[in-house]
Amino acid sequence: MAEVARVLENGRVVVLSGAGLSTESGIPDYRGESGSLRTHTPMTYDEFTGTAAGRRRYWARSHLGWRTIARAHPNDGHRAVTALHSAGHVTGVITQNVDGLHQAAGTGPVVELHGSLDRVVCLGCRRTSAREDLDRRLRAANPDFEATATRINPDGDVDLPGDVVRGFRVVGCADCADGVLKPDVVFFGENVPRPRVDECYRMVGEADGLLVLGSSLTVMSGLRFVRHAAKAGKPVLIVNRGETRGDEHATILVDLPLGAALTDLVDLLGA
């Protein structure tokens, strides 16, 4: 971490964070040692948009899972990123996470590469609304909904028995009456909006380095920014538990728990 600190001393470093940063807040990652992809199949865009049964499955499970995500609190890693940003060592944050914990820790602005579970978008009229509003409507539509989450996934999904899912009532858009509501997140098989991608490229292009925190970089949505920084000759610093798909591009690799490592980084920089 002392080597990472030396790069950050001059500032102008952009953070790219992944699910590994939020595991210490009780939200599991997808691909770590106990990653949810080992036992969980995430909702795909085609399944959600193509079948009413798929949407019912998603909203029944997410209705319960979102409550757990909403109760999560920022951990030492999130607070360290906020301190580094406030001290000028970090100029911007790009996150692959949809949990809003960077903002809850006081970091801003944050580019949410994959969107946020706190928002809902209508696929008909395209209006967005707060997830809390939908939660109230779903509670009213399902007053007898009783279930317990045994495992929460990074996308806010949980496992539920089939009979519980089949009895769940989904509601439509409150503005256009019959529009399909979707969480304002990028599902598997869905593309990140181009303007958002361009904004991230701009941030990385204007920075002097890229600090990757808690991401395996398995999917191209994050890896492309690592490749972009490396191609431009900028230092790429990766702090993650285990190997990542971007290790070959890394200037510095650190395999440590994120909360403790980033707290040490803040101390080293006096931030």
For residue 230, pLDDT beyond 90: yes
144 is in an annotated binding site: no
For residue 24, pLDDT beyond 90: yes
Closest CA to 93 of 205, 232, 204, 258: 204
| 118-175 pLDDT tens trace | 999 999 999 999 999 999 999 999 998 877 666 677 677 787 777 888 899 999 999 9
Q: What is the pLDDT of residue 150?
A: 61
Q: What is the pLDDT of residue 25?
A: 94
For residue 30, pLDDT beyond 80: no
What is the percent of the chain where pLDDT is above 70?
94
For residue 182, pLDDT beyond 90: yes
> Rounded CA gap, 148 and 187, in Å?
24
Joined tokens for residue 239: 């702090």
Roughly what angle, to the nearest 10 degrees, separates helices 194-206 and 220-231?
Answer: 30
Task: Mean pLDDT check: name the lowest of 144-153, 161-170, 177-186, 219-228.
Answer: 144-153
Q: What is the pLDDT of residue 178?
A: 79
Return phi, psi of residue 209, to 5°: -175, 165
Joined tokens for residue 176: 């256009």
216 is in an annotated binding site: yes
176 is in an annotated binding site: yes
**What is the fold of 2-269?**
Rossmann fold (3.40.50)
9 is in an annotated binding site: no
> Rounded CA gap, 24 and 88, in Å?
25
Domain coordinates in residue numbering, the chain: 2-269
For residue 11, pLDDT beyond 90: no
For residue 38, pLDDT beyond 60: no
Catalytic (active-site) positions: 114
For residue 241, pLDDT beyond 70: yes
Q: What is the pLDDT of residue 66?
A: 87
Give the position of tokens 């085609």.
46
Burial class (CB in 10 A: 0-12, 13-18, 19+), 148: exposed
> Rounded CA gap, 261 and 264, in Å?
5
| Residues in contact with 241: Cβ distance below 8 Å, sequence separation at least 6, in sequence order | 20, 32, 33, 214, 255, 256, 257, 258
Q: What is the pLDDT of residue 106?
A: 97
Joined tokens for residue 219: 């999917």
23 is in an annotated binding site: yes
40 pLDDT band (50/70/90 cuts)?
low
> Rounded CA gap, 122 and 242, in Å?
38
**Mean pLDDT, range 190-197, rounded to an integer:** 96
Q: Residue 29 is which amino acid?
A: D
SS3 98: coil
For residue 37, pLDDT beyond 90: no
| Residues in contact with 72: Cβ distance below 8 Å, sequence separation at least 6, in sequence order | 22, 25, 26, 27, 99, 101
For residue 112, pLDDT beyond 70: yes
Q: What is the pLDDT of residue 93?
A: 98
Helix (H) or strand (E) holding 17, with range, is strand 13-17
Tell me, letter by letter, the H, E, C secondary structure of 163-208: HHHHCCCCCCCCCCCCCCEEEEECCECCCCCHHHHHHHHHHHHHCC
For residue 191, pLDDT beyond 70: yes
Q: What is the pLDDT of residue 152?
A: 72
Task: Mean pLDDT check: name the lowest of 8-22, 84-98, 117-131, 135-149.
Answer: 135-149
240 is in an annotated binding site: yes
